[in-house]
């Protein structure tokens, strides 16, 4: 027998525990801080529901982003894909009474618009995945190209104008309630649960971790790396499409400028939530906490009447701090 002992052979790893769940502490800290600063206004049920509803689109996209970042990639195109899905979905959901109706005389069930939005998102994501897997283009570059091109597609398709006067059944996705809970929150929760199961309980999810943890070792272990790239980028595209449908339904119009800059919020959420740019590390619940923190900061700064300009400075600082923490964790 050998006498060596593993480095971390402790009964309870306090430092590890704190590191792992520090993010929840930070979330609670923000909540307490804001509750105090706004004299309880922040904690009102209506306000909290608002925060979560506002964060649901970012959160859904951040969930896709989590898969990509765990696999050591990045997807910059989600905001533009979101816009394409929003205008395509809206164009098929316009009521006959719409003044700028795109397809005159066309009246389809709302579900067609919704599914079309999802499909077009998934399709553009598949293109991203093919560029990365088939042509070995770095994800940053491939999705940078898609970011620009897809925004252009959204503008061309819509003629640069918002497509409004949508079917109420379509708008229900963004505006409706199921009991006391807004539909976007329910969708967000369902996506989160499914994504969590996918990441932790399926072969695909484990392969994503292996690929991000050590690509060479993953290949040697017989993992088809191309398939993972196709899978994760199609998934982020699909989720961006879903967010596009939700946002256009929320405002009742498909605006080709929707989702500009949302990729940065999504990346921020994932990284605050502990997903590592070095790959192989990340959780869905962490990302959700990250998205909530972003939402709370936005909401809190609004409640405190901080100027939108200042808000950007604060958010920027938070991103950098989150990444510094991430770097230290990996040392």
Partner 1 sequence: MTDEFLLRMEGISKHFPGVHALDNVDLEVRPGTVHALMGENGAGKSTLMKILIGMYSSDGGTITLEGKQVTIPDTRTGLGLGISMIHQELSPVPEMTVAENIWLGREPMGPMRLIDYKKMNADTQALFDRWEIAINPKAYMKDLSIAQTQMVEIAKAISFDSKIIIMDEPTSAITEREVDHLHRMIRELKADGKAIIYITHKMDEVFKIVDYVTVFRDGKLVGTYPAAELNRDKLIALMVGRELTNMFPKEDADIGDVILSVRNLNRGKLVRDVSFDLRRGEILGFAGLMGAGRTEVLETLFGIAKAESGEIHINGKKVTINQPKDAIDAGLALLTEDRKLTGIMGVLSVRDNMIMAALPKYSPNGILQRKRINDDCEDQRRKLATKTPSLDQLIQNLSGGNQQKVLISRWLLTLPDILMIDEPTRGIDVGAKSEIHRLMSMLAQQGKAIIMVSSEMPEVLGMSDRIIVMHDGQIGGIVERADATQEKIMELATGPDAAAA
CB 281 within 8 A of CB 36: no
- C-beta of 330: minimal distance to partner 1 in Å? 8
- C-beta of 4: minimal distance to partner 1 in Å? 5
Q: According to DSSP H, which parts of 94-178 are helical?
A: 110-135, 139-158, 168-175
**Token pair listed for 119:** 């499909």
Exposure on the CB side of residue 159, measured as CA atoms within 13 A: 9
What letter does residue 162 receive in the DSSP assignment? -
Instruction: Classify residue 98 as left (phi > 0), alpha (psi -120 to 50) or beta.
Output: beta
CB 310 within 8 A of CB 106: no
- C-beta of 249: minimal distance to partner 1 in Å? 32
Q: Is 329 exposed, middle or buried (0-12, 13-18, 19+ CB in 10 A)?
A: middle
**Token pair listed for 181:** 């809970």
Closer Cβ to partner 1, 257 or 278, answer by number: 278
Closer Cβ to partner 1, 193 or 304, answer by number: 193
Closer Cβ to partner 1, 58 or 74, answer by number: 74
As a whole number of angstroms, the distance between CA 314 and CA 221 comes to 44
- C-beta of 251: minimal distance to partner 1 in Å? 37
- C-beta of 19: minimal distance to partner 1 in Å? 12
Residue carrying structure tokens 């300009």? 309
Closer Cβ to partner 1, 104 or 220, answer by number: 220
As a whole number of angstroms, the distance between CA 270 and CA 293 comes to 11
Closer Cβ to partner 1, 166 or 232, answer by number: 232
Strand partners, 164: 253
**Could you tell me which residues come within 8 angstroms of residue 126 by beta carbon, excluding any fewer than 6 positions away?**
230, 233, 234, 237
- C-beta of 326: minimal distance to partner 1 in Å? 12
Closer Cβ to partner 1, 198 or 303, answer by number: 198
Positive or negative, the Cα torsion across 219, 224, 226, 228?
negative
Closer Cβ to partner 1, 13 or 302, answer by number: 13
**Token pair listed for 285:** 């619940």
- C-beta of 214: minimal distance to partner 1 in Å? 4
Closer Cβ to partner 1, 278 or 311, answer by number: 278
CB 73 within 8 A of CB 253: no
Give me the residues that bind partner 1 (CB under 8 A), please.
1-10, 201-204, 206-207, 209-210, 213-214, 216-224, 276, 278-281, 330
Residue carrying structure tokens 């994800």? 139
- C-beta of 294: minimal distance to partner 1 in Å? 25
């Amino acid at each position: 027998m050998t006498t060596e002992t593993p480095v971390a052979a402790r009964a309870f790893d306090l430092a590890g525990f704190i590191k792992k769940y520090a993010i929840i502490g930070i979330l609670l800290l923000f909540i307490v801080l804001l509750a105090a600063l706004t004299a309880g206004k922040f904690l009102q049920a209506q306000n909290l529901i608002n925060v979560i509803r506002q964060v649901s689109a970012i959160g859904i996209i951040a969930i896709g982003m989590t898969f990509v970042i765990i696999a050591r990639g990045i997807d910059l195109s989600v905001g533009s894909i979101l816009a394409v899905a929003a205008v395509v979905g809206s164009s098929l959901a316009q009521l006959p009474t719409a003044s700028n109706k795109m397809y005159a005389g066309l009246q389809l069930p709302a579900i067609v618009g919704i599914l079309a939005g999802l499909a077009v998102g998934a399709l553009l994501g598949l293109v991203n995945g093919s560029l990365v897997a088939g042509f070995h283009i770095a994800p940053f570059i491939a999705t940078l190209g898609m970011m620009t091109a897809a925004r252009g597609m959204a503008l061309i398709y819509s003629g640069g104008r918002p497509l409004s006067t949508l079917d109420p059944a379509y708008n229900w996705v963004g505006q409706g309630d199921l009991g006391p809970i807004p539909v976007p929150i329910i969708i967000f929760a369902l996506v989160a649960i499914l994504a969590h199961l996918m990441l932790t309980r399926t072969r695909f999810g484990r392969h994503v971790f292996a690929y991000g943890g050590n690509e060479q070792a993953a290949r040697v272990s017989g993992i088809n790396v191309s398939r993972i790239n196709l899978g994760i980028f199609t998934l982020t595209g699909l989720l961006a499409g879903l967010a596009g449908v939700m946002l256009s339904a929320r405002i009742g119009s498909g605006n080709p400028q929707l989702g500009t800059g949302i990729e940065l919020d999504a990346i921020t959420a994932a990284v605050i939530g502990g997903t590592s740019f070095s790959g192989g590390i990340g959780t869905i619940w962490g990302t959700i906490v990250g998205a909530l923190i972003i939402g709370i900061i936005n909401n809190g700064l609004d409640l405190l009447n901080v100027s939108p300009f200042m808000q950007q400075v604060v958010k920027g600082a938070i991103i950098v701090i989150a990444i510094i923490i991430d770097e230290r964790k990996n040392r």
